[in-house]
Amino acid sequence: MATISGRTFGSDNHAGVYPAVLEALAAVNSGDAVGYGEDAISKAAVARLCAEAGARQGYLVFNGTGANVLALSLLVRRPYEAIICAESSHLNVDECGAPERVLGSKLLAISVPDGKLTPALIEARLSGRGDEHRVQPRVIQIAQATELGTCYSLSELRRLRDFGRAHDLLIYLDGARIANAAAYLGCALADIAACADVLSFGGTKSGALGVEAILVMTDGLAESAPYHRKQVMQLASKMRYLAAQIDALLDEDRWLVGARHANARARQLGAALETVPGVEIAQPIQSNGVFTAMSRDLAARLLQDWSVQVWSESPDGRVIVRWMTAFDTTEQDVAELARAVADAASQLPAPGVAGQTRA
């Protein structure tokens, strides 16, 4: 994979780890500590994260797919209950059917151009309620930030929460990029968390080595969590190493500072790419993702050098390419990428004249 600066812009998972996280791992690496989260380090880190989010209980896990499956296992109680989600959600697209396999629950996926569900869209999926031939919606699953880089405003989140309460639907918020959303909205973690019954807090994409947390906001939902976590194979024996990462992210607000930085780099990238002929910004830039529409030829050219994702097809025949920034992306990285995209675009026929040039 040839990149100019060592950056791929393919995912925030391609980024490394905060040195402070590695130091925190080394710092807890002495002597024995009781396993499975019963040690003082783990208890303190979980309590700290819960305090930051206003959560009743917290559970550390290894990865985001496990976090989603565990969270939903607390909310779906019967096999005929279903989960309403966006068609573009990681849950629906990128988890290899883990929720369906492990929970045995049907996902009711709704097509949304910007990755965001609305009460009206959800209401339209409730028509089968009370019909024994239909699954019964129980959970609204949303991501904040969404997989398309957009963010729900706090008022949109509160409307979803109120709608859920009025319609006996629980809300699970996938917070793999909740840091980027908090940075964009300029709000506290607790402001977002208060709109969910259960949420995840993503550490890995925020500069940790590998840790996520499930945070339970609503009374009565946490009792079964320890058992579900074990069953879905997300209970770490050497929990202190997960906890140390959470601690390091909370220290000096690294989770938030890094997300602000990543979001700023995404805005920088968006501003540069929108001046490139043949490249169009396809989604509002509200987190650390930049979605661009471009010709297949230009995308193919860029994929030779950058490990980015062709996210989807655009209705007009172009493709959507996703670029991601991270806590450690520099201004120079972005400038180099923008130059490379401009160079690649300038070497291709101008949009709309491709056929003529080739003939």
- Which residues of the chain form contacts with ligand PLP (CB under 6 A)? 63-65, 68, 90, 143, 147, 174, 176, 204
- Closer of 58 and 289 to ligand PLP (Cβ): 289
- Closer of 144 and 295 to ligand PLP (Cβ): 144
- Closer of 90 and 229 to ligand PLP (Cβ): 90
Rounded Cα–Cα distance for residues 116 and 31 (Å): 47
- Closer of 79 and 284 to ligand PLP (Cβ): 284
First-to-last CA distance in the chain?
33
Which stretch of DSSP H or E encloses residue 322? strand 319-324
In whole angstroms, the minimum distance from the beta carbon of 64 to ligand PLP comes to 2
- Closer of 17 and 126 to ligand PLP (Cβ): 17
In whole angstroms, the minimum distance from the beta carbon of 288 to ligand PLP comes to 11
The alpha helices in the chain, defined as continuous H runs, are: 19-27, 40-53, 64-75, 90-93, 98, 119-123, 154-166, 178-185, 189-193, 225-231, 240-250, 254-273, 296-303, 331-346, 354-358
Rounded Cα–Cα distance for residues 318 and 241 (Å): 44
* Residue 149, Ramachandran bin (φ over 0: left; ψ between -120 and 50: alpha; else beta): left
Residue 355: how many CB atoms within 10 A of its CB?
8
- Closer of 207 and 278 to ligand PLP (Cβ): 207
* Residue 292, Ramachandran bin (φ over 0: left; ψ between -120 and 50: alpha; else beta): beta
In whole angstroms, the minimum distance from the beta carbon of 282 to ligand PLP comes to 17
Is there a contact between 194 and 164 (Cβ–Cβ < 8 Å)?
A: no
- Closer of 204 and 283 to ligand PLP (Cβ): 204
Rounded Cα–Cα distance for residues 233 and 230 (Å): 5
Residue 304: how many CB atoms within 10 A of its CB?
9
Rounded Cα–Cα distance for residues 192 and 263 (Å): 18
In whole angstroms, the minimum distance from the beta carbon of 329 to ligand PLP comes to 17
- Closer of 147 and 328 to ligand PLP (Cβ): 147
Q: Which residue is nearest to ligand PLP (CB)?
A: 64
Rounded Cα–Cα distance for residues 69 and 215 (Å): 13
In whole angstroms, the minimum distance from the beta carbon of 203 to ligand PLP comes to 10
In whole angstroms, the minimum distance from the beta carbon of 24 to ligand PLP comes to 20
In whole angstroms, the minimum distance from the beta carbon of 174 to ligand PLP comes to 5
In whole angstroms, the minimum distance from the beta carbon of 143 to ligand PLP comes to 5
